[in-house]
Amino acid sequence: MLFRIEPDSSIPIYEQIIAQVTFGVASGSLAVGGLIPSVRDLAERLMVHPNTVARAYQELEREGVLVSRRGRGMEVADQADNLCRKQRQEILRRRLRDVLREAVSSSLPVEDIRHLMNEELHRVNGQKK
Amino acid sequence: MLFRIEPDSSIPIYEQIIAQVTFGVASGSLAVGGLIPSVRDLAERLMVHPNTVARAYQELEREGVLVSRRGRGMEVADQADNLCRKQRQEILRRRLRDVLREAVSSSLPVEDIRHLMNEELHRVNGQKK
Amino acid sequence: MLFRIEPDSSIPIYEQIIAQVTFGVASGSLAVGGLIPSVRDLAERLMVHPNTVARAYQELEREGVLVSRRGRGMEVADQADNLCRKQRQEILRRRLRDVLREAVSSSLPVEDIRHLMNEELHRVNGQKK
Amino acid sequence: MLFRIEPDSSIPIYEQIIAQVTFGVASGSLAVGGLIPSVRDLAERLMVHPNTVARAYQELEREGVLVSRRGRGMEVADQADNLCRKQRQEILRRRLRDVLREAVSSSLPVEDIRHLMNEELHRVNGQKK
DNA sequence: GTGGTCTAGACCACG
DNA sequence: GTGGTCTAGACCACC
């Protein structure tokens, strides 16, 4: 699986990592029962501090997405795929709701909001790699 | 004009104030050339510290949305309505793009994204007060 | 004598008035023993608050430049011309020193400073009205 | 790099800090890509409150002179040297113009202004440390 | 009354 | 350790 982060985003790096692992498990590109990259390995690949990766993994373990296997590393937990699909849905719904709530509160007409929304969905979907 | 903030949002209070003034000028509920509420007045209404309001106003002055009238207060600058309409459009477009980009990168099918999007737009628009 | 102020300058309006009166007396366009415009009159002409003009006059009275003549207004004090010429010199010297000190501290080479200085003196002198 | 401020100047401390950083980058004593002193460190050195330094740094970040590196500190941005050299020139030109405009408006003869100017430039340059 | 600056110190997120 | 935000309250200049 390909990890990519944006160091200058306003979203903390560890949250970006959490989201990417969650989405990876939800989509199946990180298989249940499979090992994920070690903290050091991923930190080196992403050029971030190992503490940052460790924090993300710790959080994912707390959520039940990862389990640590002594001496081997961390693997994707049983049932994590269902869990992650639910979380994916809820994360995205929540973010959409926040931005749409702000858009509506700005007094921009709903038609304009819908127009912007479709425009950006097309643009973003077209750039998918 | 009605100001409302969410103290527990992850968005800083002073940024919420900036957005509300910007949107207010864009929609015309804050008229060009008119005085806006004084720092102390708005702080009391929002139950936040005056410094927090002052910071927002200073930022808006720097952007050219407000001008300070010594001894009288701050007023909405000339041309600020055009400026704010542009900014409103760009702020919302940018936020929509970010959340949609994340949604697409999560491998959730585009149809599901569109469904979520419309669902939330309806819900949020229905709650408009 | 023509009074002109810049309401948006960083220099307070009352100080601008003080400087203009001082310079006017120094140059002779406000004659010793002559009456100066009343607070109300000048405030109206400059479109500023009467308190602001009053404050400037008060300060000039304290300095000995103006004296109030009961029932008639304020007039330029005896010897004020000499006093104002000294003050003019000192005010200007002080401001020049401050800006040059800053220029030197900026590590811009002295030759460049001298060049800027002459360039601006020419420009400003050419615009004299 | 040596920082020094005058607490009793009429120029706000945070603006003095902004000017010193700008001049430091312009002159090369603050290198592009390098970290600048931390907020707490500089505050201690200058014996001012950390908030005052933070405000200056934030303004410099907004101008594009500094970039914040999360968890590490603030560093001098790419291209900041060119930017700061332009700003230095414009700041000094603007201040010179203002004081010379005032001098000319005072009706002091141009020769006297030029004399004062050279006198003060020599004096200030001689005191350079 | 207005905004502007500064000190003081708390709490947080991030690395 | 770093910077970012917020509260609190002081003092000032200006109108």
Residues 6+ away with beta carbon under 8 Å from D35:
D69, D72, D73, D74, D75
Q: What pLDDT is stored for residue A48 in this prediction?
A: 85
What type of residue is A32? V
Containing H/E element for D67? strand D66-69
Q: A107 to chain B: which residues are within 8 Å by CB?
A: 23, 26-27, 29
Work out the burial of residue A92: count CB atoms within 10 Å of its CB; fewer than 13 is exposed, 13-18 middle, 19 or more buried: buried
Q: What pLDDT is stored for residue D129 in this prediction?
A: 64
d(CA A125, CA A115): 15
Q: Which of D29, D106, D114 sits opposite C23 (nearest CB)?
A: D106
Q: What pLDDT is stored for residue C2 in this prediction?
A: 77
Q: B101 to chain A: which residues are within 8 Å by CB?
A: 124
B92·A102 Cβ contact <8 A: yes
Strand E contacted by B61 CB (< 7 A): yes
What type of residue is D52? T
Strand F contacted by B39 CB (< 7 A): no
Q: Is chain C touching chain A, with at least 3 CB–CB pairs below 8 Å? A: no
The residues with which B69 forms a beta bridge, in sequence order, are B73
Each residue's pLDDT tens digit, D80-90:
999 999 999 99
**pLDDT tops 90 at residue A4:** no
d(CA D20, CA A73): 50
Strand F contacted by D74 CB (< 7 A): yes
Strand F nucleotides within 7 Å of a protein CB? 1-9, 13-15
**pLDDT tops 80 at residue C1:** no
| 3-class secondary structure, B120 | helix
D96·C97 Cβ contact <8 A: no
Strand F contacted by D117 CB (< 7 A): no
Each residue's pLDDT tens digit, C96-110:
988 899 899 999 999
Q: Which of D97, D101, D120 sits opposite C93 (nearest CB)?
A: D120
Question: What would the mean pLDDT of D109-129 be, rounded to a whole number?
Answer: 89
d(CA A22, CA A86): 10
Q: What pLDDT is stored for residue C6 in this prediction?
A: 79
Q: What pLDDT is stored for residue A129 in this prediction?
A: 62
Neighbours of B20 (CB within 10 A): 22
Question: What would the mean pLDDT of C27-48 be, rounded to a whole number?
Answer: 88
C27·D92 Cβ contact <8 A: no
Containing H/E element for D47? none
Mean pLDDT score of chain C? 88
